[in-house]
Structure 1
Amino acid sequence: MSAYAIGNLRPTSPLHEDVFVYMEKIQSTLDPFGGRFLVHNATLEVREGAWREALVVIGFPGIEEAREWYDSPAYQELVPLRADHIPGDIVLVEGVPLGYDAGKTAAAFREAQAQAQ
């Protein structure tokens, strides 16, 4: 099942030189774990709420690969180049399996809620 590293970043302007170095080197840390950028420096079209941050989404074959990438010495060496200059939040999350049905999940939540009352 696919997994994702999601960054909710708040870049400052102008960007620090370290951020450019981070961007130039990050792909080489992703390659051994099958990681690839799915969203990076994209224009966001906010439909609800307020979103002022930059969104980054990196896809991986699975959650283990995402964890191994984040914890790898190669990536950990780069983290300060970004984190020292761009505050934000980073999460790793598993995707849903092929054929996922939100209606079935709603039914399970409804049943669990009814049993809890």
Structure 2
Amino acid sequence: MPEKKESGYVRSGRLFAALTVLRFAAGEDNELLTPDGYARKHHPQGRIDEVNGDLYRILTKARKRGGEHWKVAAAALRSIPDFLEEGIVPPGPMANRALVEHKAGYDAQIAVFRDRFSQLLA
């Protein structure tokens, strides 16, 4: 995660990305989910709640898949505390600027994972 302090909305986007990568590595989803199109899309916590699952079950599925799937899942899990270091996910609805920041955080974190795990996350 970058050294400079990021807004809560950027960090919530990064957290959303880590959770979607974790789900993808475990085979929960056939493609990487994006923050677009969620029923509760104007609330960062709602977006995260919709992709957050039973982490033990998801990690176990990724471990059984092994190889790159496990490496990606482990990296995604290890990244999660960084996104909460500065505080919790912002509550309440997001205005347009916050939506842009959330998406920017998601895009930035997906790029980090794609750079490290290009074969699986191409």
TM-score, length of structure 1 as denominator length: 0.31
More strand by share: 1
Look at both structures and tell me which one has the larger radius of gyration over its CA atoms: 1
More helix by share: 2
TM-score, length of structure 2 as denominator length: 0.31
